[in-house]
Chains A and B, each alone.
Chain A
Amino acid sequence: EAQVTQNPRYLITVTGKKLTVTCSQNMNHEYMSWYRQDPGLGLRQIYYSMNVEVTDKGDVPEGYKVSRKEKRNFPLILESPSPNQTSLYFCASSRQGLNSNQPQHFGDGTRLSIL
């Protein structure tokens, strides 16, 4: 089954404790992206990757890191989490191409609470 898998689904942690949210897709998609969803703000892009070893900042990259060493994986790293990073996070992937019209496939989300 074609899917985007995120882990963990839920995490409660404390300020400053490094964490990684993993994302894996099995569709051989070039494009991958991380979003955060906050009430009243919709989804905002954190980082995206057009292909292996290529990553770029989205709209709200501060406090986050990503890597794309393999095509299928795109982990999101919070080196020193803070309470304002408490949010619902989504990973997405799609076939890529400038001006591509392909829809993005989303994971089921990771709810992070930073105390």
Chain B
Amino acid sequence: AQSVAQPEDQVNVAEGNPLTVKCTYSVSGNPYLFWYVQYPNRGLQFLLKYITGDNLVKGSYGFEAEFNKSQTSFHLKKPSALVSDSALYFCAVRDYVDKLIFGTGTRLQVFP
């Protein structure tokens, strides 16, 4: 069965420092992987996706994610964090019936 794990409930980082939000997955076949962000009182917003091709995927707001097939990981990264990046981040994998399977979410807190 497809699954996604986000091992950290919360990540704290100082503004200007690089950030990483971790995600590992388990799928049969080739994975379609997504990152979404949720700001308070809002729905999820799409950040980026990996389908095929380059292992480094660039997305919205300066975020990128690195697909690592051998480690079955898809970590979200940003070279320099902003206070406005503070939000809840979800990793997801799409299964064969277009269902998104979400991780439990990681709260990113960026301190000034």
Contact = CB atoms under 8 A, between A and B. Distances in A.
Nearest to A58: B99
A31 interface: yes
Given A98-B98, A101-B94, A106 B104 contact: no
Contact of B43 (A45, A58, A90): A90
B112 to A, nearest CB: 27
Nearest to B42: A108
A42 B105 contact: yes
Contacts of B41: 108-109
Contacts of A4: 43
Interface of B: 32, 34, 36, 41-46, 49, 51, 90, 94, 96-100, 102-105
5 A-B pairs with the lowest CB-CB distances in the bound complex, closest first: A106-B43, A103-B46, A42-B102, A42-B104, A43-B102
24 contacts: A42-B90, A42-B103, A42-B104, A43-B44, A43-B90, A43-B100, A48-B97, A48-B98, A48-B99, A58-B99, A90-B43, A94-B98, A96-B98, A98-B96, A99-B94, A99-B96, A99-B98, A101-B32, A101-B51, A103-B34, A105-B46, A106-B45, A107-B43, A109-B43
